């Protein structure tokens, strides 16, 4: 059983290993790490559901080369992102920057959650209010008597 689990875990990582393979020689491990981080965060403009690390399209290869060149030249992350955005637009960022256009994207889920919480609180609050004093009936005295009668009838059966 354990062996199976190990196998499944290993297989689930195999896609990472088989993603586009280039032979880049990095000056140090930190640069390699940054290359991997940035290339998985930049979106391929041609094949829009892939990042440039995964995509085999020529443009993704060009962008990887450019990314590699920039990092080797000592560019910081900000410069790399700016370089890509000035050419391909905000579109290439898988993690869009905060702007008027993306407020909905960033705050939308939180707002929906908040609405949900408020609705739940309102609904449950109402229910609590109506619980303590037995069923709050709007029945008139005559109707109450009739109700008691009916209940008694049930009991006598």
Partner 1 sequence: MRRLIVILPLVLFVALGLFLWNGIGKDTETIPSPLINKPVPEFSLSALLDEQQTITAADLKGRPALLNVWATWCPTCKQEHAQLNRMVRDEGITIYGVNYKDDRDKARIWLDKYMNPYALNIYDPEGKLGLNLGVYGAPETFLLDAQGIIRYKHVGAIDERVWSELRQKMKQLEVN
Binding site for partner 1 (CB under 8 A): 45-46, 48, 58-59, 62-63, 66, 85-91, 119, 122-123, 126
**Of 26 and 88, which has the nearer Cβ to partner 1?**
88
CA distances from residue 47 to 2, 55, 65, 68 in whole angstroms, order as listed: 38, 7, 17, 20
How far apart (Å, rounded) are the C-alpha atoms in residues 8 and 125? Answer: 47
DSSP secondary structure string for all residues of 37-101: HHHHHBBPSSSTTSBTTT--SHHHHHHHHHHHHHHHTT--HHHHHHHHHHHH-GGGBSSPPPSGG
* Shortest separation between residue 21's beta carbon and partner 1, angstroms: 21
> Considering the complex, what minimum distance in angstroms separates the CB of residue 45 from partner 1?
4
Q: How far is the CB of 15 from partner 1 (least distance, A)?
A: 24
Nearer to partner 1, 34 or 67 (CB): 67
- Output 37 or 115, the one with its CB closest to partner 1: 115
Q: Given the complex with partner 1, which of 63 and 71 has the nearer CB atom?
A: 63
Cβ 119 to partner 1 shortest distance, Å: 6
């Amino acid at each position: 059983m354990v062996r199976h689990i190990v196998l499944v875990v290993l297989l689930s990582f195999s896609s990472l290993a088989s993603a586009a393979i280039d032979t880049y020689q990095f000056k140090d491990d930190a640069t390699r790490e940054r290359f991997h981080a940035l290339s998985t965060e930049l979106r391929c403009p041609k094949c829009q559901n892939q990042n440039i690390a995964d995509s085999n399209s020529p443009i993704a290869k060009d962008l990887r080369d450019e990314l590699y060149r920039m990092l080797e030249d000592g560019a910081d992350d900000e410069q790399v992102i700016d370089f890509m955005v000035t050419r391909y637009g905000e579109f290439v960022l898988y993690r869009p920057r905060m702007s008027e256009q993306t407020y909905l994207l960033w705050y939308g889920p939180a707002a929906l959650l908040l609405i949900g919480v408020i609705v739940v609180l309102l609904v449950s609050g109402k229910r609590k209010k109506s619980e303590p004093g037995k069923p709050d009936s709007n029945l008139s005295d005559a109707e109450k008597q009739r109700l008691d009668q009916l209940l008694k009838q049930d009991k006598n059966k």
